[in-house]
Amino acid sequence: MSKVLPDSVLRPITKEHPYKIVFVCLGNICRSPTAEGVFQHIVKEQGLSAYFEIDSSGTSAYHAGEKADSRSREAALKHGVELLSRSRKFETFDLDYFDLIIPMDSQNKRDIEYQSHKKEHKEKVILMREFDELANGDINVPDPYYGGAQGFENVYQMVKRSSEELLNQLKPFIQ
């Protein structure tokens, strides 16, 4: 069963006030750029681009300014999704700016939560795989950086399932 979004992160979504989501991983070159690209792609397919502002970032600045890893771009492109993001570091003010902050793994989540003790911030931070119907207790999108091509395809599939569920939960709030 997927997590149901808490009331605290839900509000009417309009073109004037688009819903803002940032996906977060460590380097912002593999997992979160894939999530950004896939969510954006699904939203576009459904004609809903104007209602969302989608971004990604990393808890580290190791790869700041870089394109997504070529292996992530390849895995996404096989499914018709182009990854165009440039890596940037997650900043504390992102906790105010975004409606929803979606870390890829529990370490990313801790690194974000460490930056604020406010309840309204904590409620916005929800792990990606909470929305993956096939997670079966696995809470992390595993870091594919040091592995082979299968790891990147695996990330793509997890992120796709999770993005579809997340969008389905938000769609009823579009006005």
* Sign, Cα dihedral of 79, 85, 91, 94: negative
Q: Is 76 in the site for ligand 4NP (CB under 6 A)?
A: no
Shortest Cβ 58–ligand 4NP spacing (Å): 6
21, 29, 42, 102: which one binds ligand 4NP (CB under 6 A): 29
Shortest Cβ 131–ligand 4NP spacing (Å): 18
Q: Is 56 in the site for ligand 4NP (CB under 6 A)?
A: no
Shortest Cβ 144–ligand 4NP spacing (Å): 7
Q: Is 127 in the site for ligand 4NP (CB under 6 A)?
A: no
* Footprint of ligand 4NP on 139-158 (CB under 6 A): 143, 145
| Alpha carbon of residue 124 to chain centroid | 12
* Contact residues for 95 (Cβ-Cβ < 8 A; gap 6+): 101, 112, 115, 116, 118, 121, 124
Q: Is 28 in the site for ligand 4NP (CB under 6 A)?
A: yes
User: How many chain residues touch ligand 4NP (CB under 6 A)?
Assistant: 10
Tell me whether strands 52-58 and 100-103 are parallel, antiparallel or unpaired: unpaired
Of residues 9, 15, 168, 23, the one with CA closest to residue 83: 23
5, 9, 25, 54: which one binds ligand 4NP (CB under 6 A): 25
Q: Work out the burial of residue 48: count CB atoms within 10 Å of its CB; fewer than 13 is exposed, 13-18 middle, 19 or more buried.
A: middle
The token duo for 159 is 């992120």
Listed ranges 5-13, 15-23, 25-33, 45-53: which one lies at the site for ligand 4NP (CB under 6 A): 25-33
Other CB atoms closer than 10 Å to residue 153's CB: what's the count? 17
What positions carry a catalytic annotation?
A: 25, 31, 143
- Name the site residues for ligand 4NP (rule: CB under 6 A): 25-31, 62, 143, 145
